[in-house]
Amino acid sequence: MKITILGVRGSIPTDGPEFCEYGGATACILVEADGQAIYLDAGSGLLRAPNTGSAEVSILLSHSHMDHILGLPLSPVLLSDKTLDLYLQEREGLSAREQLERLMAPPLWPVGVEKYPSEVIFHDLKLPMQIGGVQVSGMESNHPGGSTIYRLDFEGRSLVYATDYEHTEEKQKELAAFAHDTDLLLYDAQYTEEEYARMKGFGHSTVAEGLKVLEQSGAKRIMFVHHDPRHSDAKLREMENALTEPRASFAKAGEVFEI
């Protein structure tokens, strides 16, 4: 599986020289496997979607908070002539299409998806499912309004994408079991411990809680994502340098690697 980190900023995009190293674009990770291009979330990182040459393009949305769908309206995938399968869990009585049309319709956006050259097929998420040879499974996160944690498995390799996730004792156990022996765990560590004390209930977690899941799951590697928009490169570097766990790092936009 080839992984391309396109955006790992949380909540709102950031801009400026102090955000160049980890990147200011919001949630978007590209996974390529079995001839498929699968995007995890469609934050502003999706604007940098490379031409994968893949005929099959899918987007798995964790949820429809702005930072996870913001890249969609001007993304290369929507402006291409490809067919795009877009998956999103029904929430609050709204289908995938209805949730996305809240962003991509007047008065928030000039045109609807039907005006784009690509053909968008909306799917109300039903898991588990297959995308080509890639097995997709999920668990419900702990996040205001709900969010889906995904696991992708292909030919003995796997990754778990746990963003917009706030730890509880019970959820940590569930996530550790869900991420059992995974090759890569992408984990929401938006807050420092001091910040978390003030932001409890906002739906995000910390490095220390991520490291607990790493231990309990037997995951081979953890990358922290959903960086707080107030954390500059200097702050993130300081947090990353404080890690003593060799399997842990802070994700940076632009990283490309295989698992």
Kindly list the residues in this chain that would bind Zn ion in the complex (CB under 5 A): 10, 65, 67, 164
Q: Give residue number: closest CB to Zn ion.
A: 65
Query: Please, which residue, 141 or 182, has the CB nearer to Zn ion?
Result: 141
Minimum distance of Zn ion from residue 194's CB (angstroms): 20
- Report, in Å, the least distance between residue 185 CB and Zn ion: 17
Considering the complex, what minimum distance in angstroms separates the CB of residue 190 from Zn ion?
8
Distance CA 127, CA 229 (A): 32
Choice between 32 and 164, CB closer to Zn ion: 164
Shortest distance, CB of residue 145 to Zn ion, whole angstroms? 7
In the complex with Zn ion, which residue's Cβ is closer, 28 or 33?
Answer: 28
Helices (H), the chain: 96-103, 169-178, 193-199, 207-217, 233-241
Residue reference for tokens 């932001």: 199
Length of the chain: 259
Q: Which two tokens mark 259?
A: 């698992």
DSSP state for residue 114 in the 8-state scheme: G
What is the C-alpha separation between 145 and 150, in angstroms, rounded?
17
Decide whether 32 or 67 has the Cβ nearer to Zn ion.
67
For the CB of residue 215, give the shortest distance to Zn ion in the complex, in Å.
25
Which residue in 209, 225, 134 sits closest to 176, CA to CA?
A: 209
Per DSSP bridges, beta strands 119-124 and 36-40 are unpaired
Q: Which is nearer to Zn ion, 33 or 223 (CB)?
A: 223
Nearest CB to Zn ion, comparing residues 52 and 142: 142
Do residues 6 and 49 make contact, with C-beta atoms less than 8 angstroms apart?
A: yes
Radius of gyration (Cα) for the chain, nearest Å? 17
Min separation Cβ 65 and Zn ion, Å: 3
